[in-house]
Amino acid sequence: MNVLEICRQKLQEGGLRLTRQREQILAVMCEHQGEHLTREGISNLVQQEYPSVGKATVYRTITVFEKLGIVSRNNLDERVRYELADPAQAHEHHHMICLACGKIAEMRGDFLETQEQILLRDYGFHVVNHQLKFYGYCRDCAKEQEL
Amino acid sequence: MNVLEICRQKLQEGGLRLTRQREQILAVMCEHQGEHLTREGISNLVQQEYPSVGKATVYRTITVFEKLGIVSRNNLDERVRYELADPAQAHEHHHMICLACGKIAEMRGDFLETQEQILLRDYGFHVVNHQLKFYGYCRDCAKEQEL
DNA sequence: ATCTCTGCAAATAATTTGCATTACG
DNA sequence: CGTAATGCAAATTATTTGCAGAGAT
């Protein structure tokens, strides 16, 4: 089942509709898979390809997509950013953010599970999700800075 | 050496001045130590205690304080938040954010060091800092939701 | 005395909302 | 057909900036 159908189904489950605009916005998100875009950025991209789509529609759609888990939100940066949610949510990813060039790379790893059990035991805190960012210098920038 | 003197010194090192307003803003941050405040929130608190201080001054001051490491910034939430920087930066802390009541709790732990070594080895990424947030339900809210 | 800092108000940036119209299911 | 969704423009919210005067060192 492809992204579009998953999207249609999730919308229908909530009594919502898959409109032409929502398809187009989804298409743009697909074309930029892996990028971390602000709503404004998404809006600009959409308007390049589909100039008839209003900015407010993009903003409203991202909100809907987020609620349905179609896109995932992160605030790795100054501004909140979105990316197409990983269809196989199973394996989570973390981010490495280069302080020099700003590049955001992803890495995989489930090494927080033990810690989550500790949180439950020690604080009674039930973890449902987490977000981990490493700030530093990527290989290229580290070289330039002679680190 | 107290916070105020540390602040004065850091300012002076940068050729900056410790004005009455900056002292007052610092005082407010001290009174709300441990809280995670937006710049707007800080501005409101300042204006309650010191109505003569302009909003723009608060915004500009927080920016200065951040650059000097007097306050630390986090984007755990929708909006960027600030807190008085831990003078003993040595032991780092992570955050648990309750999805129900919004409360942000802190926890300590240095369990990411191994992972940082792996990042350097596998990706050539030099970590200088990191941020970890756990989202979930705090003890009280978990009880209400019968988790 | 010098040069940073301040308050104000206006400017900008980012997002939300009201409403009449369109179009999905 | 009924109701959710859209586009537009106006409204809101959050933050930044220009500038003339005040104040710290």
Domains of chain A, earliest start first: 3-84 (1.10.10.10), 94-144 (3.30.1490.190)
The string of pLDDT tens digits covering residues B29-87 is: 999 988 889 999 999 999 999 999 999 999 999 999 998 989 988 877 778 899 998 76
pLDDT at residue A60, as a whole number: 97
**Interchain CB distance below 8 Å, B139 and A125:** yes
Evaluate if residue B90 carries a pLDDT over 50.
no
Strands (E), B33-92: 71-74, 81-84
pLDDT at B107 over 60: yes
Instruction: Pick the closest to residue B76 from B139, B129, B132 (CA basis).
Output: B132
Q: How far apart are the first and last CA of chain B?
A: 47
How is B18-42 classified by DSSP, letter by letter?
--HHHHHHHHHHHHTTT--B-HHHH
Q: What is the pTM of this model?
A: 0.74
Is the pLDDT score of B145 beyond 70?
Answer: no
* Closest by CA position to A47, among listed A73, A72, A20, A24: A24
Distance (Å) from CA B34 to C1' D11? 35
pLDDT for res B22 = 97
B126-142 tens-digit pLDDT: 887 788 888 888 888 87
Angle at B12 between CA B45 and CA B42, to 5 degrees: 10
Closest CA to A93 of A138, A134, A64: A134
Per-residue pLDDT tens listing for chain A (147 residues)? 788 999 999 999 989 999 999 999 999 999 998 888 999 999 999 999 999 999 999 999 999 999 898 998 887 777 889 999 876 554 577 888 776 666 778 887 778 888 899 899 988 898 877 888 888 888 887 776 655
Q: Would residue B138 be called left, alpha or beta, if left means φ above 0 and alpha means ψ between -120 and 50 degrees?
A: beta
- Shortest Cα–Cα distance, B56 to chain A (Å): 20
Residue A18's nearest nucleotide, by CA–C1', is C24
Report the DSSP pairing between strands A126-137 and B126-137. Answer: antiparallel
Q: Do B125 and A133 touch (CB under 8 A)?
A: no
- Give burial (CB, 10 Å; 0-12/13-18/19+) of A36: buried
Disruptive mutation site among B92, B134, B146 for chain A (greatest number of A CBs within 10 Å) = B134
Judge residue A69's burial from the number of C-beta atoms within 10 Å of its C-beta, 0-12 exposed, 13-18 middle, 19 or more buried: exposed
